[in-house]
Structure 1
Amino acid sequence: MRYNPHNVSREIGPDGLEHMYVNGTLAIRIFVIFALAYVMSYAFRAINAVIAQPLVAELGLSASQLGFLASAYFLSFAVMQLPVGVMLDRYGPRRVEAVLIGFAALGAVLFAVAESYAVLWLGRALIGVGVSACLMAAVKAYSLYFRPHMQASLSSWMLVAGSMGALTVTTPVEAALPFLGWRGVFGVAAVLCVLAGLALWFVLPKLFKPQKTESVGDMAQGYRAIYAHPHFWRVAPLAMITQGGFMAFHGLWVGPWFTNVIGLSNAQAAQNMFWISAVLMAGYLALGFLTRRVSKAGGDEDQIMLIGMGLSLVVFAVQIVQGAQSGLWGWLVHAFLISSGIMTYATCNKPFPKKLTGRSSTALNLLIFIGAFSIQWGIGLGIDAFVAAGFTSTDAMRLSLAALWVVQLGSWLWYARPGRKTSHLISLSDLRY
């Protein structure tokens, strides 16, 4: 796809180097296409919360089996992050994401036709592989072609698009289940993945030239510098446990919370999940505008993340304590506040030079999805263990979530400890690896 050169400008960036920035309709096209692909990624992440009840009814899965099946997405997604980072920095976001999303289409087909738990798990894992670059490819593209003060806002607006994916798999999917079944839903998803891949390959402009000045091995060594940096390890626990924990809960266990703990029907639960996703989307949208204003005014936008995630922990604790008496409003407030967690990506990238942004983002994403995989499966294991110990299923879920809350609080305190601002000022312009 060719582009109008008037939509591209070359300017001297904050690092003193010349950078190419996109403008006008080209900027809108790049954002929209990456956002539409990310809709699929988020939809796949959240869909198990809606289909959990019919899936368990048809296959007779235990809580731990359901958690392990759902978390196969997070496991394969996590495994892909380091190679995805190298590929993004070497081959560019358009090529990488367009090829990978084909694996998501294949995984959706396998899930739709599966007759055994093993094939279901494989299909779910392939979906994770296929959408593993959807957000990181967009973050890489934005770091390459959009001005620095737009970075946090663009990341937030991407999550607005992702939340639209979550919205489509709540009430709409619940309404479609009697006609399509969960297998038909995944068949439709496979077709949408193919269409997204075609748009990425043929509609996005070819702005990025493959970087061949470094070998793949040398590029992989960049992860050593990233993982050795103290700022990375200040942000990583918060992202891994709190952001990853919300992904695990919102992607599966929020549905059983409404049906098993509160006693709602599957349709009522889906309706509640629709509103949670809608409020989450509103949170991302508000965050995008707020961080842009704070950043342009010279303020510390990371304070927004710190306060938002801290308050979300307070609300989460109240919901756990209330248990069966908890209401939808509490989860809506929690979703709005936890949206600030998306800022962990932009915060983590701050000390690193532009040539490492693909790898620094995926280095963090690896840990987030390891956290989401471990927590999503771990909640199921915890529920089964507490039930075996004699607790009711309601108390078993509350206790599992309470254990999660304790480690989330620890991760927030680790990030909030004195010296946080100093770590943001470390420069790696003389990075060597």
Structure 2
Amino acid sequence: MPPTGEPQRGQLEVGHGAPTGNPETGSRALDSSGGRGAVAGVPTRAWVAWAAGALTYVVAIFHRGSLGVAGTMAVDRLGIDATLLSLFSAVPLGVFAATQIPVGLLVDRYGPRKLLTLSLMVMAGGQAMVAGGTSFAAVLAGRALLGCGDAMVMLSVLRLIAAWFPAARAPVLAQVTVVVGTAGGLAAAPPLSAALRAFGWEPVFFSVALATSCLMVAVWLGVRDAPPDALRSGRSGSPGETLRTALAEAWRQPATRVGLWLMFTVHFPVQVFVLLWGFPFLTQAQGLSATTASYVTAVPLVVTMALGPVFGVISGRRPHWRIPLVLVIVGATSVMWGLVLLWPGAHTPLPVLFLLAIVLGLGNPAAVFGLDIARSGSPMHRVGAATGIANIGGYTAALLAMMLIGVTLDRAHATSADPGVADFRLALATQFLLQALGVVLLLRLLRRRRAGSAGSGPSPVCVSDT
């Protein structure tokens, strides 16, 4: 008997490869072909494919943070200041966001095996450029390549999960992949830092690039795009379909747009806090030491690792809880930021700041709900494009929020002085505008879908969400 939230086979009817079901929860009609129905066991080949994809994600997270532990060395090697150093984080993020839709289309067309292998090739090349680069432009170009390679990984792993595993297991495996990648990246930081101190910039980063290129062989041998019966069934798009047509069809799927606006709304606050503005706010506006501030900004990552699998179980077994839970987390995030920014006096107590970090950390696993909705509301040959469109929502909102905060901060304080508490409060309050926009657009889309469903009469396909 399938877990709660997974449709019974007898209730379902799938025709012409079109997605069916509730676009709000992401549940849809499934059949047993290609290993997507409820099955008693999962073949070993499926676990091998997922493990290879998860290992690639660990490598991507490692590359993403590799320059973070070499910041001081980069300043000395390249002769740059802190502003230029910050671009080494901003540029890969921008490239990552810009390439999500093209990568999703390519995953659908060429399969995750080729894309994962290509991602390792691109990351190896990018890290080699970082290793050998002696100018700011060369190292920045290498970091951009790392962002491009990173962008191919998660969408490819999601496509593998969708092809090889029953639908009820997919949300849990997606969350576990995130947890494994995050834990791997954190665990790799101390050894990399020690290696850089012992051996220097070029030997270490060239070795990392070489190890990454060697993993290409393991991924190519270990990954298969789908079970043989799924490949023989011919569940793919039209042979003459262009990438533009595939993108348009993926966008027309209601679940894709629900996933996009969900991620736009819930994901950006934690990214803004961890990647850019949390540390300056805590040290400059709240008066915390660098060590204490680093502990606070690490809390969201710990929350992600601890609660990710729990959110995966909720998404798989109670898909109708996804939207309400996201709205609760968005509300809690707004309340906590309001409490911190309106706290009487100059500094907010440290326990309140830790509580803010905990609440922000909920946004990471909640954002994966958007990928679950886009994936489960799409036919197999559109999973990559749909999840790519959804994924771009969170990163677009993060970039907009980072720029809006920066512009507001520059305009709020005098050019001759550092930003003060009031300046940071005003700048960080601009996040409420993006959250309100996201909630309005998400609820508007859901209301339209409900009205459309009510007006069209009973659906010929019955999908159970409970």
Report TM bin, short chain: 0.7 to 0.9
Structure 2 vs 1, CA of residues 98 and 29 (structure 1 numbering), >3 Å: closer, same or farther? Answer: same
C-alpha displacement at 1:18, in angstroms? 4.8
Q: Matches of 1:373 and 1:91 in 2, distance apart?
A: 29
* TM-score between the two structures when normalised by the length of structure 2: 0.74
In our comparison, the structure showing a higher alpha carbon Rg is 2
Q: Matches of 1:97 and 1:56 in 2, distance apart?
A: 32
SS in structure 2 opposite 1:148? coil
Q: Matches of 1:184 and 1:255 in 2, distance apart?
A: 31
Structure 2 vs 1, CA of residues 221 and 149 (structure 1 numbering), >3 Å: closer, same or farther? Answer: same
Which of 57, 69, 72 is the matching residue for 2:88? Answer: 69
SS in structure 2 opposite 1:115? coil
Is the deviation greater in 115-124 or in 393-402?
393-402
Unaligned runs of 5+ in 2: 1-8, 15-30, 36-40, 462-466
Which amino acid is 1:37 matched to? Answer: T
C-alpha displacement at 1:272, in angstroms? 4.3
C-alpha displacement at 1:122, in angstroms? 0.8
Q: Matches of 1:347 and 1:195 in 2, distance apart?
A: 35
Corresponding residue number in structure 2 for 1:341? 367
Structure 2 vs 1, CA of residues 253 and 310 (structure 1 numbering), >3 Å: closer, same or farther? Answer: same
Corresponding residue number in structure 1 for 2:450? 422
Corresponding residue number in structure 2 for 1:7? none
Corresponding residue number in structure 1 for 2:434? 407
Structure 2 vs 1, CA of residues 414 and 206 (structure 1 numbering), >3 Å: closer, same or farther? Answer: closer
Corresponding residue number in structure 2 for 1:3? none
Structure 2 vs 1, CA of residues 332 and 55 (structure 1 numbering), >3 Å: closer, same or farther? Answer: farther
User: Do residues 23 (structure 1) and 42 (structure 2) align?
Assistant: yes
User: Do residues 287 (structure 1) and 308 (structure 2) align?
Assistant: no
C-alpha displacement at 1:357, in angstroms? 1.1
8 Å CA contact 1:302–1:347 kept in 2: the answer is no
C-alpha displacement at 1:378, in angstroms? 5.0
C-alpha displacement at 1:170, in angstroms? 5.9
> In the TM superposition, what whole-angstrom CA distance separates every residue of 1:109-157 from its partner, at most 9, and x where no partner exists?
2223333322222111100111111110011111112112222222222
C-alpha displacement at 1:51, in angstroms? 5.2
8 Å CA contact 1:42–1:165 kept in 2: the answer is yes
User: Do residues 151 (structure 1) and 170 (structure 2) align?
Assistant: yes
Matched positions, count: 415
Which amino acid is 1:412 matched to? Answer: V
8 Å CA contact 1:81–1:366 kept in 2: the answer is yes
Q: Whose helix fraction is larger, Structure 1's or Structure 2's?
A: 1
8 Å CA contact 1:50–1:170 kept in 2: the answer is yes
Query: Where do 1:73-92 residues align within 5 Å?
Result: 73-92=92-111
Structure 2 vs 1, CA of residues 94 and 282 (structure 1 numbering), >3 Å: closer, same or farther? Answer: same
Corresponding residue number in structure 1 for 2:249? 225
RMSD: 3.8
Which amino acid is 2:429 matched to? Answer: A
Which amino acid is 2:418 matched to? Answer: T
SS in structure 2 opposite 1:392? coil
Q: Matches of 2:397 and 2:240 in 1, distance apart?
A: 27
Corresponding residue number in structure 1 for 2:124? 105
Structure 2 vs 1, CA of residues 234 and 92 (structure 1 numbering), >3 Å: closer, same or farther? Answer: closer
Q: Matches of 2:140 and 2:173 in 1, distance apart?
A: 33
User: Do residues 32 (structure 1) and 51 (structure 2) align?
Assistant: yes
C-alpha displacement at 1:259, in angstroms? 4.2
8 Å CA contact 2:64–2:150 kept in 1: the answer is no
Structure 2 vs 1, CA of residues 195 and 397 (structure 1 numbering), >3 Å: closer, same or farther? Answer: farther
Which amino acid is 2:324 matched to? Answer: Q
Which amino acid is 2:330 matched to? Answer: M
Query: Where do 1:41-52 residues align within 5 Å?
Result: 41-46=60-65
Structure 2 vs 1, CA of residues 33 and 387 (structure 1 numbering), >3 Å: closer, same or farther? Answer: farther
Corresponding residue number in structure 1 for 2:335? 314
Aligned-pair identity in percent equals: 21
C-alpha displacement at 1:161, in angstroms? 1.7
C-alpha displacement at 1:237, in angstroms? 3.5
C-alpha displacement at 1:317, in angstroms? 3.6
SS in structure 1 opposite 2:371? helix
Structure 2 vs 1, CA of residues 337 and 92 (structure 1 numbering), >3 Å: closer, same or farther? Answer: closer
Q: Matches of 2:224 and 2:144 in 1, distance apart?
A: 30
SS in structure 2 opposite 1:87? helix
User: Do residues 370 (structure 1) and 370 (structure 2) align?
Assistant: no
8 Å CA contact 1:241–1:408 kept in 2: the answer is yes
Corresponding residue number in structure 1 for 2:277? 253
* TM-score between the two structures when normalised by the length of structure 1: 0.79
Which amino acid is 2:34 matched to? Answer: M
Which amino acid is 2:159 matched to? Answer: K
Is the deviation greater in 381-390 or in 238-247?
381-390
8 Å CA contact 1:255–1:273 kept in 2: the answer is yes
C-alpha displacement at 1:261, in angstroms? 4.0
Q: Matches of 1:171 and 1:321 in 2, distance apart?
A: 37
Corresponding residue number in structure 2 for 1:204? 223
Query: Where do 1:112-127 residues align within 5 Å?
Result: 112-127=131-146
Corresponding residue number in structure 1 for 2:356? 330
